[in-house]
Amino acid sequence: MDTNAKIYGDLEKILVTREQIAKAVKDMGRQLTQDFAGKEPVMICILKGASVFFTDLIREIDLPLTTEFMAVSSYGSSTKSTGVVKIVKDLDKPVTGRDVVLVEDIVDSGMTLSYLKKVFANREAASVSIVTLLDKPARRRVDLQVQYSCFNIPDAFVVGYGLDYDEKYRNLPDIGVLHPRIYTK
């Protein structure tokens, strides 16, 4: 653990290693290649948290596909989400009739994705699927079906591999639990 030694010092522990992530992303790519065979999905990266996962994942999918980027903000404190979602950056092209795959970093209460699913249903996508790197099922507040999840994790605030606290830690190659002293000071 000598790389990123300064930021690793802010972690309580490592939860998912880069090796575990790489394997899970490969497996997920293979699964999506199978499940979307014969289709041309539009993969939608939910910025910024999913950006690292997204760029790794799409290279593991052996299908013709297109990519889009969307940014949403949820109002609330930086370690808890409120479910009130605002689209800060929308897609470049319409998704009418397309098989939409929403790629998210983490599902917590489920409010963000539940809102986005409705948005894409209203836009008349042919289908809307959800792929998440991490899932915290214990925190779910809405009934949301997550078809594709790489890791279920306990209720803790995590950073790394794209996930931030106050815009930092996205560059950690592993996923770790942020030490509470960082956000309670």
Residues that bind ligand 5GP (CB under 6 A): 49, 74, 81, 83, 104-112, 157-159, 163-165
* 170, 163 Cβ separation under 8 angstroms: yes
143 is catalytic: no
| Choice between 24 and 107, CB closer to ligand 5GP | 107
CB of 113 to ligand 5GP, least distance (A): 6
User: Distances from the Cα of 161 to the Cαs of 45, 92, 169, in angstroms?
Assistant: 14, 26, 8
Catalytic member of 99, 105, 108, 174: 108
In the bound state with ligand 5GP, the residue whose beta carbon lies nearer, of 41 and 110, is 110
Closer to ligand 5GP at the Cβ: 64 or 185?
185
Minimum Å gap between C-beta 3 and ligand 5GP is 20
Full DSSP string of 75-118 = -S-TTS--S-EEEEE--SS--TT-EEEEEEEEESSSHHHHHHHH
Q: Which residues belong to the active site?
A: 108
